[in-house]
Amino acid sequence: MAVIHRTTMSPGKLELLADWLPSRPWYRGAQGPAALTKAGGFRLDDPEGEVGVEFMVVTDGAGDAPVSYLVPLTYRGAPLEGAGEGLVGTSEHGVLGRRWIYDGAHDPVLVEQLLALLAGRAVAQDQNRSGVPDPTVEIRSEGAGVPAGLTGPGLVTDTADGTVVTVGPVGLERPVLALTLARELRTGPAPASDRVRGRLLARWAAPDGAEARTTFASLADSGR
C-alpha cells in the first residue's frame, strides 16, 4: 500500500509540470510556462512498494481558454535507466529526500499496473488518502477483453492527440497491443472502435467547475 506523506516538495509538482507541459506535442496552450491548478486524479499501488504512481489531472489557464490534461506520473528514489526522455524533473521531498519524477508512459511500473487495472487485477486508490480505494474509477471490458500478463512499455509515441504505448507479450494472435493515454481531456463519449479491449474511465473537475467523466486510457489491438 502506498503511503501518502503530508509534507513538502521543492519544487512542487505543479511547478515542474508548468515548465514541462509546453514541451509536449499534445499541449494546446501558448508558449511559456503553463498556469496550472489540480483538477482530480487517482493513484495505483506499486506491488514492490518502491515507486509512487499517480494519475493527475491539471487545468491550464495560460491560454485563451482553460484546458485540462491527464498527466500520469511516477516518483522514484533513483533515476530510471533508459527513461531519460520521460523525466519531468527532480524534487526534494520532505520525508523521502530527492525524487525523480517521470512521465508515467515511460515507466514500466505505471504501465504494468495500469494494464493490471484494465485486466481487473488491481484497484484504483484515492489520490489523497492512503489505503482508501477510489470507487469512482471504472473499468469497461470490451471485445476480446484484456488478457493477463501484459508488459510494457515498448515504443512510446507522443502525438498531437495523446500518447500511445506498445505493450506485449507473446501468446496473443496479435502480439502487440496499443495502450492509449488521453492527454487533453474532453467531456463526452469516446469514439467507438471494434479494436478496443478495455477502457479506464475516471472523473475530474472540468474548467467550468462541473464534475466530468471521460476515458483516461484504453487498450486496443494495434491493427498490425
Which pLDDT tens digit goes with each residue over 48-90? 999 999 999 999 998 889 999 999 999 999 999 999 899 999 9
pLDDT of residue 1: 60
> Which residues 6+ apart lie within 8 Å of 6 measured at CB?
none
User: What pTM did the predictor assign?
Assistant: 0.93
Beta bridge partners of 12: none
Whole-number Cα distances in Å, 86 to 58, 80, 196: 18, 9, 26
